[in-house]
Amino acid sequence: MAQKKPTMRRQQKPQHNNGKPGLIISHYGVAVLVRFDNGEEHPVKVKRNSDHVVGDRVMVVDERVTSLERRNALRRRDPFGKVRTLAANLDLLGIVVAVRPQTPSGFIERVVVAARAADIAPLLIVNKQDLPGTTAFEDQLQRDFPAMPRLAVSAKQGDGLELLRHELAEAGRSALVGVSGSGKSSLLNALCPGIDLETGDLNEEDHGCHTTSVSTLLALPNGGELVDTPGFRDFSPVDVSSEALAHWFPGVMSILEEQPCRFRNCRHRQEPGCRIKQAVTQGTFSEQRYQLYLNTLEELEQLETARNEGRKNPFCR
């Protein structure tokens, strides 16, 4: 099932005789920190709502920043309907999860959809191996995501970190995402000794406390680069159409690759000859995962309808 890849924002490469090329390595809202190709680092002011993000290649002329062409970008829609670009030019996306705090239903699936649609390889990182219940949690992940690469680590005890370092070095540029409290900052502290990022504890409801407020790109000692992003409990993909959703949704495409539906434009609801519906009936695709797919499909369809009719985003609060 061939799918058209999403079109990323493209800009003509500016022709500046006196410009300095560089890379954005931190974003502070009204300023970015640029690492220039000569090794120097310098903060440059930007507009608060500028589209510049960590990982962007830029040209700086007279304290003005112009982003160059992106290879890809990781984007999400927040609960208020606003599109947020998290990082650019990524090779791998580490999805950090743990038995505590509980990852919201559908969070992993939606992050995977966003990553695959942007041509970024997803990797499940199961943190906090020292917590009770982790074995059962990993067994469930294996059932839900059998084809997904997965690493088990413990930032606290150091388990699995050498293998993670190797994966990140091989990947090139990676980013970590996860709910607040999943241990992203603790992993970064373990991977990059000396950076001393603030870490947070869980509150009484087992929800994590936000500790990362800006995105930062770090050079890893063993090779590769890593972007830390703020924690959040929701993730709505942006650069994917309702038609292409099945191509990226974990578990759905693997079923369709074995035997496609009768109709090429099947949305996997009530169409005759639907392989996904058959898999649900046969128990090879869980009803819960199927409902997550339908919920995401409906959300994308509503957004597309609103956009085509020139209406306001239906999910804006």
Detail the residues annotated as belonging to a binding site for GTP. Answer: 127-130, 178-186
Of 53, 64, 61, 66, the closest CA to residue 25 belongs to 53
Work out the number of other CB atoms within 10 angstroms of the CB of residue 76. 21
Rg of the chain in Å (alpha carbons): 20
Per-residue DSSP letters for 275-294?
HHHHHHHHTSS-HHHHHHHH
B/e letters for 34-62, b = 16+ CB within 10 Å, e = fewer, are bbeeeeeeeebebeeeeebbbbbbbbbee
Give the whole-angstrom CA distance, residue 99 versus residue 136.
9
Q: Which residues are annotated as a binding site for Zn(2+)?
A: 261, 266, 268, 274
Q: Which residues are annotated as a binding site?
A: 127-130, 178-186, 261, 266, 268, 274
Per-residue DSSP letters for 97-125?
E-SSSPPPTTHHHHHHHHHHHTT-EEEEE
Cβ atoms 53, 87 nearer than 8 A: yes
The alpha carbon of 133 is separated from its chain's Cα centroid by a whole number of angstroms, namely 25
